[in-house]
Amino acid sequence: MRIKQFSWSKTLVVSAFITLFNSGISNAFLFKVLGVSGNVKLQVNGQVSNLRPGTKLETGQVLIIESGYCGLMHANGKILELKTPGSFPAANLAKSITGNSKTKVSDKYLEYVLGQLSKTEEKDMETNVRKYMDVPGSVQRGSSKPNTGNAASIYVNLFSSNQIMPAPYFISWTPIAGSKGYEVSLADRFDEIVMQRKSDSAFIEIDFSKLPTQGDESYKLVVTSPGTGSKSVKEYIMNLATHADLGLQTDNSAADNMVNGMICEEKHYFLDAIKYYEKANRQEPGVESYSEALSRLKSKLVKK
C-alpha cells in the first residue's frame, strides 16, 4: 500500500513538472523585433496586425512582409534581417538561424538588449529629456553653469565622463557667434598637455590611437575660443580602454549596427554608439526605431 501511494505521489510530481516545463516552452519567444519599415504584419491565431518594434515572435506565429524591412534578434542573440516579400513562420526562421555560423550578441549583453526591446516607457522618456537624465543611475551631462563674465559657454557634445577606444573620433561643440577659431587641448591624468590643436569649425577629429598612453589612460578635454574668451563649461573626461570587451557584432547590417549601438550606449561608449546608430540609419532610413535611438542619444547631449 505504501509503495502504491509513493508511486502515485511521484507520478503526480513528475506530471506537474512536465506540464510546467511544456507550458514554459510554449510561452517562450523565438525572436524580438529590432525594427520595421514598410508593410510588415504578424499573424497570430488567424488574426493579422501591424508588426511593431519590441514584439515577441513565438512558435505558431507567422511574419508577413508585403513590402519593407524587418530586423529580428533571436533569443540566442543571433540577428536576422528580412527584406523579401513573403510569409515566414517564426519556427522556420528559428531553424534557419540556429544552425548557421553568424555571430551572436554575447550572453554578457544579451539580457540587456532584450530588456531594452521590451521597454514600454520608451516614448514617455523621449518626451521629457530632463526627467530621463535625472533617473537614478543615468549618466549626467557636463555642468550647465556658465562661466563668469560676458563670454558664452562652450558645450561639448559629450557627457562629463565618456569611454573611448584607441580610434579616431569626431568631437563637436556649440558654435560661438563671432568666433574666428577654437583651440582644443587634451591633458593626461597628471595635467600634462598631450595634444593641442586649432580648428576653424565647431568640431575636430582626434585619433586617440596616436596619443601617448600607458595602459588605460584618462584625458581631460577643454575647448576655448580665444577671440571671444569662451571656454567649455567643464573638463570632459575621456577614459581610454585599450581592450574593450563589448562583444560587438562583426557583420555590418543595419540590425547589427543597431545592436552594437545599444551595447556601446549602455557601456558609456557614447561616440561609438552614435557611429553605429548613424550607420543603421543610413542603411535603413525608413526604420523608425533606429532613427529614434539616434535622436534619443543626441537629445541627451543638448543643453537644456
Predicted confidence at residue 99, as pLDDT, reads: 63
- Least confident span in 155-164, 224-233, 238-247, 288-297: 238-247
Any idea of the CA torsion for 293, 294, 295, 301, to the nearest 10 degrees?
110
**What integer is the mean pLDDT of 92-113?**
78
Strands, E assignment, 208-250: 217-225, 230-232, 236-240
Instruction: Give 60-93 pLDDT, tens digit per residue.
Output: 999 999 999 999 999 888 999 999 999 999 999 9
The model carries a pTM of: 0.75
Over 60: is that where the pLDDT of 146 sits? no
Largest separation between any pair of C-alpha atoms in the chain: 99
Q: Which three cell numbers stand for residue 84?
A: 523579401
Read off the DSSP letter of residue 183: E
> What type of residue sits at position 89?
P
Predicted confidence at residue 216, as pLDDT, reads: 67
**How many C-beta atoms lie closer than 10 Å to residue 269's C-beta?**
24
pLDDT band for 135, please (50, 70, 90 cuts): very low
Which of 113, 126, 118 has the alpha carbon at shortest distance from 259? 113
Domain boundaries, the chain: 153-240
Predicted confidence at residue 4, as pLDDT, reads: 43
Over 50: is that where the pLDDT of 120 sits? no
d(CA 260, CA 256): 6
What is the overall mean pLDDT for the chain? 79
pLDDT band for 119, please (50, 70, 90 cuts): low
**What integer is the mean pLDDT of 114-140?**
46
**How many C-beta atoms lie closer than 10 Å to residue 153's C-beta?**
19
- Least confident span in 34-48, 104-118, 215-229: 104-118
The CATH code belonging to domain 153-240 is 2.60.40.1220
- Least confident span in 15-29, 93-107, 208-222: 15-29
Instruction: Give 226-262 pLDDT, tens digit per residue.
Output: 989 999 987 899 999 877 778 888 888 999 999 999 9
